[in-house]
């Protein structure tokens, strides 16, 4: 009898494709349990070592620079440790009863000055290039403004009708999270941005210093009262949800002002922009705090506006 490979006896792991099919079955099981996210979501993962997956070209360059510097640092640390251990063993008083009276050696002194300087120069050049690239926003296709408050963010879209909204952490005051929302990371009003677009983010604050940071974009910049900083979100490659948090200690609810960025198709972004038009900057903004939202979040931190 011919056994259909798909229905026949399960292959042992290790036989051709066995691990892959087992992995697919585990993945399907996790999806069925609702554990594996259906759409891309850039967020912290348990036991993860290293950075979140970089979401755009600039983030990829920064990530590989970080990896290079980490390897270099570890290599230097190992070299110094081994040298120290060797010196302690070789020149211990028991093995070396008559110590050398040499006090300096020109060649060694030149080397231990020149080599570290060379290493620093090698690190500095790509570092400055990346800093410059994140600050080079002249050719951005879209500008948004992120304003930090104790303890939520508000956003303005000046070149798309100048609308504004506030983004509070979802689930405040013990309110249940909606399906798909992530505890401590989701907001009631996510920032929506189009895919494959260079976005300039102007960052400021109204009360104390906050910091707008999204790890998958490798973006982080302080929002200071009375000052506007800027950064670039390079072209994000995939639609999905990207999470970040305020990264400046800004008061008692500092850890409860997350950043949720939804990257959507350009058509979806245009449709979303149309819906936001009533939320003009300077208007009374009943849309920001609808009654149902206010009911769901009775314990919003008091704000000084
Ligand atoms: Cu803050």
**Ligand 1 center to residue 103 CA distance, Å?**
53
Q: How far apart are CA 285 and CA 9, in angstroms?
A: 63
Mean pLDDT of 152-177: 90
CA angle (180, 186, 187) in 5-degree steps: 120
Q: How far apart are CA 214 and CA 100, in angstroms?
A: 56
Mean pLDDT of 252-259: 94
**Ligand 1 center to residue 71 CA distance, Å?**
32
pLDDT at 19 over 70: no
pLDDT tens, position by position, 180-199: 888 899 999 999 999 999 99
**Ligand 1 center to residue 288 CA distance, Å?**
20
Band the pLDDT of 26: cuts 50, 70, 90.
Answer: low
Query: Given this model, what pLDDT does residue 250 score?
Result: 95
Going by C-beta distance under 8 Å and a sequence separation of 6 or more, which residues neighbour residue 284? none
Question: How many CB atoms neighbour CB 281 within 10 A?
Answer: 14
**Ligand 1 center to residue 38 CA distance, Å?**
30
Q: Are strands 191-194 and 258-264 parallel, antiparallel or unpaired?
A: parallel
**Ligand 1 center to residue 87 CA distance, Å?**
49
Q: How far apart are CA 90 and CA 241, in angstroms?
A: 57
Question: How many CB atoms neighbour CB 234 within 10 A?
Answer: 24
pLDDT tens, position by position, 201-238: 999 999 999 999 999 999 999 999 999 999 999 999 99
Smallest CA-to-CA distance from 207 within 253, 261, 244 is with: 253
**Ligand 1 center to residue 73 CA distance, Å?**
31
**Ligand 1 center to residue 250 CA distance, Å?**
5
Q: How far apart are CA 305 and CA 148, in angstroms?
A: 11
pLDDT at 149 over 60: yes
pLDDT tens, position by position, 31-57: 444 444 446 778 888 898 888 999 999
**Ligand 1 center to residue 244 CA distance, Å?**
12
Band the pLDDT of 296: cuts 50, 70, 90.
Answer: very low
Query: Given this model, what pLDDT does residue 118 score?
Result: 96
**Residue 259 DSSP SS3:** strand
Average pLDDT, the chain: 83
Name the token pair of 92. 């211990």
Cis peptide before 155 (omega within 30 of 0): no
Cis peptide before 151 (omega within 30 of 0): yes
Smallest CA-to-CA distance from 43 within 145, 142, 185, 153 is with: 185
Query: Given this model, what pLDDT does residue 12 score?
Result: 40
**Ligand 1 center to residue 184 CA distance, Å?**
14
């Amino acid at each position: 009898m011919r056994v259909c490979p798909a229905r026949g006896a399960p292959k042992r792991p290790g036989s051709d494709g066995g691990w892959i099919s087992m992995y697919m079955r585990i993945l399907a099981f996790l999806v069925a349990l609702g554990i594996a996210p259906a759409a891309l979501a850039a967020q912290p993962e348990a036991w993860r070592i290293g950075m979140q997956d970089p979401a755009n070209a600039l983030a990829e360059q920064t990530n590989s620079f970080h990896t290079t510097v980490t390897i270099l640092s570890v290599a230097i640390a190992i070299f110094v440790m081994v040298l120290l251990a060797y010196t302690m063993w070789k020149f211990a008083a028991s093995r070396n009863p008559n110590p050398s009276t040499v006090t300096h050696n020109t060649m060694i002194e030149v080397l231990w000055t020149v080599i570290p300087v060379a290493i620093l120069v090698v690190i500095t050049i790509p570092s400055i290039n990346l800093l410059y690239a994140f600050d080079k926003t002249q050719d951005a296709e879209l500008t948004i403004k992120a304003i930090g408050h104790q303890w939520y963010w508000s956003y303005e879209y000046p070149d798309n009708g100048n609308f504004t909204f506030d983004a509070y952490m979802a689930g405040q005051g013990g309110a249940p999270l909606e399906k798909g929302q992530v505890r401590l990371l989701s907001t009631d009003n996510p920032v929506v941005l189009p895919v494959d677009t260079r976005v300039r983010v102007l960052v400021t604050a109204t009360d104390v210093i906050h910091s707008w940071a999204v790890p998958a974009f490798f973006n982080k910049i302080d929002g200071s009262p009375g000052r506007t900083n800027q950064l670039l979100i390079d072209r994000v490659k995939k639609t999905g949800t990207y999470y970040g948090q305020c990264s400046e200690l800004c008061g008692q609810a500092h850890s409860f002002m997350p950043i949720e960025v939804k990257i959507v198709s350009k058509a979806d972004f245009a449709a979303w922009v149309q819906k936001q038009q009533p939320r003009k900057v300077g208007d009374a903004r009943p849309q920001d705090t609808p009654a149902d939202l206010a009911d769901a979040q009775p314990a919003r931190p008091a704000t000084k506006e």
